[in-house]
Chain A
Amino acid sequence: MSDRLPATCFAVVLALCAPLAGQIAELRARADSLLVEWQLAKQFADLQDSLRLARERGGRDTIRVGALVFLVNRSPLPLREAAATAWPQIERFYGPAAQAFAQRPFLIQAVDPDTNEDVPPGWAIKILWNTEVAPLARALITIADLGPLDPALRDWLGGVVVPRFDSGPGHAEVYIQLVTAPSQAAQRCYRGDRAACRDALSLSDMTDPATRWYGPDERRALAAMEFDSPFAGARRREQAAHACEQGSDSICLELLRALPPGRLPPPLDYQARLTLLETAVRVGGAGTFQRFLATPAGPMGSRLAAAARVSEDSLIERWRNDVLAARPTPVPLPVLGAWVALGWIVVFGTCGLRSSRWRVS
């Protein structure tokens, strides 16, 4: 106590002489105290959440298939069979990295399909227990995401890593994007320009995507679309409506550069990037994903190429060939079909016109 006295006196004198300094000290003390209180409250809230989670996990069966671990409530859900179907594909995609799932159990709540009760709250993945093996296996593949192990990959991809190989439909979707995306980069990529593919897929550092992805006309259309929104701010809307739409490319560029990072729509979306990752895994074999995780941070193109043990150009070329090979077949309209449709119209029309009268009595 006696030790503290001079310090306290000094603090009081200081506070009297310099009220502002005293106030700063008081504010700092209050902030520190609030921070401590916040940390305690957070710890308590986290504890409550983990207790809730533990309650959810309690009384569940543990099912292990390969490195996959499921904590699931008792039900007729054919989880083991579905996991046995899904695991080989997951392992083929991730290779040795798939062992990471052993540390990441899936919490699954099989839900009764014959109930009007709302789904019970909680963090578990809810699945109807009458789901069949094939769709359940597909769902398990969808949730087998190791993207969180590499935040840069997750950011670049813009979604979850789906360990799939059956990407014919995915490649077909990318083909349509390549052909129809209003982007110079995508169109040049379609014509075989690898650098444009690199830009369209954001495989190198993108300091100014607005110029790398889009040409002046596309920028004008894009700015008009992006800024025709009340969230855009009055001044920018006005600029987009006047200067940019009337042909000032510099204003369009300024507007697009003002968008928050990630807001500028990329010409090729998540699907295209996922197919590229899949191509890399197919080319590099089962160890690709493990090698990818081990590569140092850097542009995504060089990381993927290094993991697949090919050059970046050949990886892109392979991906492009896969996409072009998946060109969707046009839907043919047979001549007979047209006649059949016409015939049905005539039949219904005749029935309508020739129907019998109503007999009232």
Chain B
Amino acid sequence: MARQLRWWIVTSVGACLVIAIAYLPPRPMPLLGQRFFRVFQTFEPPTPYRLRVQELARRYRITSFELRMREYGEAMRPELERRRALELPGPTVYFADPGSLSDSARSLVRTMLGTAWSQLGLRTSKISVGVVVDVVFDRPPGGESPGHMPAANAFLLPDSTNRATCLAYVPIIYWGRPGVLTQAHPAPSRELTELLRNGLGTCGYFAAFGAPGHDIGRWLESRHYEFALDPWGLVVPPESTRAGSLLDEDKPWFWSFVYRYQPGAVECMAGHADACRRTALARGNGDLVPVVSAERQWSKPPSLAGADRYFADLVADIRPERFSRFWNSELPVDTALAMAMRMPVGEWTRRWQATIVPPIRLGPAAPFSATPLATLLGVAAVVLVMRTATRRQVR
């Protein structure tokens, strides 16, 4: 054996020894992989007892919200009845804390809500709508305190005790910063217009189309009316919904957010009509309470991407008259929906979903342009190595 080769072998064995000393016992933990200082507390998952506290807090929030809304409803009742008797169109507006806004700001909010009502094409309706506007200046108490109102639009829908009134809660959140309504001369802004218009949300559907049919009502209730949170008639560019759902395919987090959705929703994004149908028609397992909130949980995405505007887009597509027939239908949900759509539910949903999220491709999918390039590079590397080795050989 040549002397040079022996040196190479000795060096390799020496390197292996160094690595072994670093990685093998007596220290089973690799020297390089040891943990750093942990001077700060580590995150502890909540105990079952703490989870129960959180669940009770959630139930308390729903109940106290319903209670507060019914109290507001009582306060609004004379005005609601007067409007109903005189057949005055428009919602009844109530300010949760009237002292928090100037007269001109309150008047502006009333006018803007009246305008939003007209823009939705609503006139007098069997179901009156009361809107509770709450300007929130302070952050809700931190910690585990259960008593705070929702930080997004929420609705108390008509139920067996009060079939003729739908109440919307619209928080205008300032949290200590200056806002349009706190200015000396408040002027309408686009943002406020949209906020108030969205505030009519689910109540807008009740005002326009009345109470839903029995089966449809149960289906919507079990899903917390998630398809009917946005009112119709508001032209929202698909990019906005896409970005709002964190499903902008140009962004690096696109795939991680795709896979936060349930498998059915992901399949629907991939253009599988069956999955779209299944997901759209599935019954939810929500509490059967007349309270609906648009407040989203970070960890819980909706059943379909952009679900909030499913009905809004459906109304825009099939016109309010046909939607009204679906809404009031006593047929099973799938039949009523398919009749309104005039096509299978899965197919309509697939097309609608494609307007929000461009169809994704599931499974391994190397781009066509990248494949030949990678192959060429691989071949070039192999050829280069072969040629170099051949040239270096001395026979």
Chain A residues close to B by CB (< 8 Å): 19-21, 23-24, 27-28, 30-31, 34-35, 37-38, 41-42, 44-45, 48-49, 52, 111, 113-116, 119, 121-128, 131, 135, 139, 142-143, 207-208, 230, 233-238, 254, 257-261, 356-361
Q: Assign chain B's interface to a size class.
A: 35 or more
Given known contacts A28-B67, A258-B177, A357-B394, is B49 in contact with A48 (CB within 8 Å)? yes
For A261, list chain B residues within 8 Å (CB).
175-177
Contacting B246 at CB < 8 Å: which of A23, A230, A357? Answer: A230
Cβ of B185 < 8 Å from any Cβ of A?
Answer: no
For B162, list chain A residues within 8 Å (CB).
20
CB contacts under 8 Å to A, within B22-72, are: 26-29, 34-35, 37-42, 44, 47, 49-50, 52-53, 56-57, 59-60, 63-64, 66-67, 70-71
**Complex contact B39–A125 (CB within 8 A):** yes
**Complex contact B67–A119 (CB within 8 A):** no
- In the complex, per-residue mask of B58-90: 1 if CB is within 8 Å of any chain A CB, else 0: 011001101100110110000000000000000
Given known contacts A111-B35, A230-B246, is B63 in contact with A31 (CB within 8 Å)? yes
Sample (6) of A-B pairs whose CB atoms are under 8 Å apart? A38-B53, A45-B47, A45-B50, A139-B39, A257-B178, A258-B179
**Complex contact A358–B34 (CB within 8 A):** no
Cβ of B121 < 8 Å from any Cβ of A?
Answer: no
Interchain residue pairs A-B with the least CB separation, the first 8: A234-B240, A45-B49, A126-B38, A38-B56, A27-B67, A34-B60, A31-B63, A230-B243
From residue B380, how far is it (CB to closest CB) to chain A in Å? Answer: 20
For B71, list chain A residues within 8 Å (CB).
24
From residue A86, how far is it (CB to closest CB) to chain B in Å? Answer: 12
Contacting B53 at CB < 8 Å: which of A45, A119, A139? Answer: A45
For B42, list chain A residues within 8 Å (CB).
119, 121, 126
Given known contacts A235-B191, A257-B178, A261-B175, is B63 in contact with A119 (CB within 8 Å)? no
Cβ of B267 < 8 Å from any Cβ of A?
Answer: no
**Complex contact A20–B70 (CB within 8 A):** yes
From residue A291, how far is it (CB to closest CB) to chain B in Å? Answer: 29
CB contacts under 8 Å to A, within B82-127, are: none
For B369, list chain A residues within 8 Å (CB).
none
Cβ of B300 < 8 Å from any Cβ of A?
Answer: no
CB contacts under 8 Å to A, within B130-166, are: 144, 146-147, 161-162
For A121, list chain B residues within 8 Å (CB).
42, 44
Contacting A19 at CB < 8 Å: which of B161, B175, B236? Answer: B161
Given known contacts A34-B59, A235-B194, is B27 in contact with A44 (CB within 8 Å)? no
CB contacts under 8 Å to A, within B192-235, are: 194
Nearest A residue to B251, CB-CB: A230
Q: How far is the CA of A97 from the CA of B339 in the complex (A)?
A: 75
Contacting B56 at CB < 8 Å: which of A37, A125, A235? Answer: A37
For A119, list chain B residues within 8 Å (CB).
35, 38, 42
Nearest A residue to B241, CB-CB: A234
Q: How far is the CA of A45 from the CA of B51 in the complex (A)?
A: 9
Q: How far is the CA of A64 from the CA of B56 in the complex (A)?
A: 42
Q: How far is the CA of A23 from the CA of B4 in the complex (A)?
A: 95
Contacting A361 at CB < 8 Å: which of B52, B67, B73, B395? Answer: B395
Cβ of B248 < 8 Å from any Cβ of A?
Answer: yes
**Complex contact B44–A123 (CB within 8 A):** yes
For A52, list chain B residues within 8 Å (CB).
47
Contacting B392 at CB < 8 Å: which of A116, A208, A358? Answer: A358
Nearest B residue to A24, CB-CB: B70
- In the complex, per-residue mask of B302-326: 1 if CB is within 8 Å of any chain A CB, else 0: 0000000000000000000000000
Cβ of B367 < 8 Å from any Cβ of A?
Answer: no
For A28, list chain B residues within 8 Å (CB).
67
**Complex contact B392–A357 (CB within 8 A):** yes
Q: How far is the CA of A236 from the CA of B194 in the complex (A)?
A: 12
Cβ of B244 < 8 Å from any Cβ of A?
Answer: yes
Given known contacts A38-B146, A121-B44, is B394 in contact with A27 (CB within 8 Å)? no
Cβ of B6 < 8 Å from any Cβ of A?
Answer: no
For B251, list chain A residues within 8 Å (CB).
230
Given known contacts A19-B161, A237-B243, A257-B178, is B39 in contact with A142 (CB within 8 Å)? yes
Q: How far is the CA of A38 from the CA of B58 in the complex (A)?
A: 10
From residue A359, how far is it (CB to closest CB) to chain B in Å? Answer: 6
Q: How far is the CA of A38 from the CA of B50 in the complex (A)?
A: 10
Q: How far is the CA of A114 from the CA of B26 in the complex (A)?
A: 8
Q: How far is the CA of A292 from the CA of B144 in the complex (A)?
A: 31
Q: How far is the CA of A124 from the CA of B237 in the complex (A)?
A: 51
Q: How far is the CA of A233 from the CA of B195 in the complex (A)?
A: 12
Given known contacts A38-B56, A128-B37, A139-B37, is B194 in contact with A114 (CB within 8 Å)? no
Given known contacts A38-B60, A42-B53, A359-B2, is B67 in contact with A24 (CB within 8 Å)? yes
From residue B46, how far is it (CB to closest CB) to chain A in Å? Answer: 9
Nearest A residue to B173, CB-CB: A260
Most buried by A among B28, B57, B60, B241: B60
Cβ of B387 < 8 Å from any Cβ of A?
Answer: no
Most buried by A among B42, B66, B392: B42
Q: How far is the CA of A72 from the CA of B241 in the complex (A)?
A: 53
Q: How far is the CA of A37 from the CA of B393 in the complex (A)?
A: 84
From residue B133, how far is it (CB to closest CB) to chain A in Å? Answer: 18
Contacting A233 at CB < 8 Å: which of B39, B161, B244? Answer: B244
Q: How far is the CA of A254 from the CA of B180 in the complex (A)?
A: 9
Nearest B residue to A160, CB-CB: B40
Nearest A residue to B45, CB-CB: A121
From residue A7, how far is it (CB to closest CB) to chain B in Å? Answer: 22
**Complex contact A23–B161 (CB within 8 A):** yes
From residue A232, how far is it (CB to closest CB) to chain B in Å? Answer: 9
Cβ of B190 < 8 Å from any Cβ of A?
Answer: yes
Given known contacts A20-B70, A139-B37, is B63 in contact with A27 (CB within 8 Å)? yes
**Complex contact B37–A358 (CB within 8 A):** no
**Complex contact B47–A49 (CB within 8 A):** yes
From residue B36, how far is it (CB to closest CB) to chain A in Å? Answer: 8
Q: How far is the CA of A258 from the CA of B59 in the complex (A)?
A: 31
For A257, list chain B residues within 8 Å (CB).
177-178
Q: How far is the CA of A236 from the CA of B244 in the complex (A)?
A: 11
Contacting B40 at CB < 8 Å: which of A48, A125, A237, A356? Answer: A125
Given known contacts A230-B246, A359-B2, is B39 in contact with A235 (CB within 8 Å)? no
For A237, list chain B residues within 8 Å (CB).
240, 243
Q: How far is the CA of A21 from the CA of B74 in the complex (A)?
A: 9
From residue B173, how far is it (CB to closest CB) to chain A in Å? Answer: 9
